[in-house]
Amino acid sequence: MVFYSLDIIGTFAFAISGFLTAFHKRLDLFGLFIIAFVTALGGGTLRDVLIGRTPVGWMIDLNYVYVVFGGVVFAILFKRKLEYLRTSLFLFDTIGLAVFTILGIEKGIDANLHPVISIALGTMSASFGGVIRDILCNEIPIIFEKKEIYATACVFGGAVFFVLKMFTIPMIVIYIITISIIITIRLLAVKYKLKLPQIKD
């Protein structure tokens, strides 16, 4: 139940993130829904295909489609209250990033994958919906920009997840700690303009 709830929360957050990006690009209603849809479900679709889980999740559980639709409706109704689109986009994107990292890692564990591969799966699950969103909106994906720490937060959070699993800590606590760490890293990285070092000529 906790696992499913996290999935719904992440889907909703990413759907709003996708909507805000599309709204900023002044797309029509169909475009708004499509960008919200691929942002919310693109990473999970890639994850399921990679581990051979087909049909993918949203094809056999329409609740995910309903959640995306609900996220779009919510964003439309409250778009005036979301005054700072970039701030709102960042917050919802960060929440989705953290939640889907956990979900991807758990899927990797269920598939009996090595922890390193599970972390990679979690990172892809969290990041690639945003990659598809940015490409369709003619933006450089955040994960590839040198100015922000994005996927690195997922990798670090995933490593913490497996360290915590070595101790007798309730899973719900591990989820909360891991999600909080990923969100905190992302917030601090943006606030203090932290970034990975570049290799220069």
- Over the stretch 170-180, which tens digit does the pLDDT of each residue have? 999 999 999 99
Measure the CA–CA gap between 22 and 114, rounded to whole angstroms. Answer: 37
More confident residue, 119 or 1: 119
- Provide, rounded to the nearest whole percent, the portion of the chain with pLDDT above 70: 94
pTM comes to 0.86
- Over the stretch 59-99, which tens digit does the pLDDT of each residue have? 999 999 999 999 999 998 887 776 565 676 778 888 889 99
> Stretch 2-15: mean pLDDT, rounded?
86
Where exactly are the structural domains of the chain? 2-191
